[in-house]
Structure formats: structure tokens, C-alpha cells
A = this chain, B = another copy of it.
Amino acid sequence: MSTVAALLTPRKSPVQARSAVTVGALHTAAIQVLVREGLSRCTTTRIAERAGTSIGSLYQYYPNRDALLVAVLERHLTGISTAVEQVCREQRGRRIDVMAAALVRRFLAAKLRDPEEAKALYAVAEERGGVLLAARMRERTVAAVAAMLGSASDARFDDVCLVATMALGAMFGPTQTMLRGAAPSESGACFERELVLLVTAYWRAYQSAPDRVGDTPTGTA
């Protein structure tokens, strides 16, 4: 185990039932404190207090504060990556518009399962341990989407990896801005439809015109 990983990896795993309860309480407490107080005020004291346990219990399972926060972030990102990988396997060989609709639906379902959690974890993803973890998770999802795109029945992509990265980024950006905005259940359906339209239109551009577009526009007029 490398030095940096050792500092961010859980110390030991719970074997009895009550210890599993403790780590679960620490996870939810960390998220709650993160939402209410912000990352800079998300301290070990406050987390343990809200979890109803003691500081010592926290340090039995995590070597430091960042390890706990990274563990919470990892659970969040793993849920999204797994959902994307699953939908990408299911949609192999389909048409790209079907792929786009299924991908957006599953991505949003996983991301918006707990909007407060998703919103608060953006701050953790900006810290040193968070960016590395997010990079690993993004590699997984990009690979899955790229494999799906390569099997499309009605389009050819010269660089599936690039297109997958762009598509995931195009889904991530609007989702992030929407999470900062109003209640997510307000215009959720409208947002999903628009996101499907965005990804579909992007991928359909590769059906007819695999070359670049826009630098010397001579198109429809």
C-alpha cells in the first residue's frame, strides 16, 4: 500500500453488529454536518457528536478526518459508476438515441437519489484525496460508455473515448448547476428531457458528419 493511500484507507472493518451501526452513523453524520456547516466546519468533533458516538470511535475506523470524508465520497461515486456500467452493458448494440435516453435516466437516478448529499460532496471532491478518487471513478465510467458507443448499431465514432468523456462532462455540468438551483423535484422531468436531447443531438452528429463542424460553417443555411 502506497503512502498516500495508507492515509486515506479505512483502518479496520466492523465485525460485530454494533460497530457496523457506528460506521453507518458516522457516514450519515458526516454528510449532515457537511450539508449544514460546510466542509471547513465539518470537524471530527461535530461529526462524532452528531453521530452520537465519541471521537475515539471515529479514529478506530479511519486514520484521519479526510479518510472518512473520502469514504463517504467513494460510496457516492461508486453508486454512480456502477449504475453507468450496468446501463452501458444493457444497451450494447442499440441505437444511439436509445443509448442516450437510458444513460441519462440511470445517471440522474443515481445522482439525484440524495440531492443534498450530492451537492455537499462537490466540496469534498475538490480536496486532495477527492480529486484522485473522482479521477479513478471517471475512468471507469468513461470506459463503460466508450465500449457502449463502439457497439452502436447506427453510428461510428473515430474516438469513442473522447466522445464518452465529452458526453459525461456534458451531463455532469448541467446537473451540477441544477443541484445548486431550486428544488430538484420542481422541473426534474423537464431537465431530464433536455439532457436527453443534448446527448442525443451530440451523438447523432456522428451518424452523418463524422468530421468537425463549426470552424467554417457551410451547413444547412
Q: What is the interface of chain A, defined by CB distance below 8 A to chain B? A: 38-40, 95, 97-98, 100-101, 104, 122-123, 126-128, 131, 134-135, 138, 154, 162-163, 165-166, 168-178, 180, 190, 193-198, 200-202, 204-205, 207, 212-215, 217, 219-221
Contacts and interface: CB of A to CB of B under 8 A. Distances in A.
23 contacts: A39-B126, A39-B127, A97-B213, A104-B214, A123-B127, A163-B194, A166-B174, A166-B198, A169-B170, A169-B173, A169-B174, A169-B175, A170-B170, A170-B198, A172-B173, A193-B215, A196-B214, A196-B215, A200-B214, A201-B201, A201-B202, A201-B205, A204-B220
A114 B190 CA distance: 36
Given A122-B126, A197-B205, 15 more contacts: A38-B127, A40-B40, A98-B217, A104-B214, A123-B123, A154-B221, A169-B170, A169-B175, A193-B214, A193-B215, A196-B214, A196-B215, A200-B213, A201-B202, A201-B205
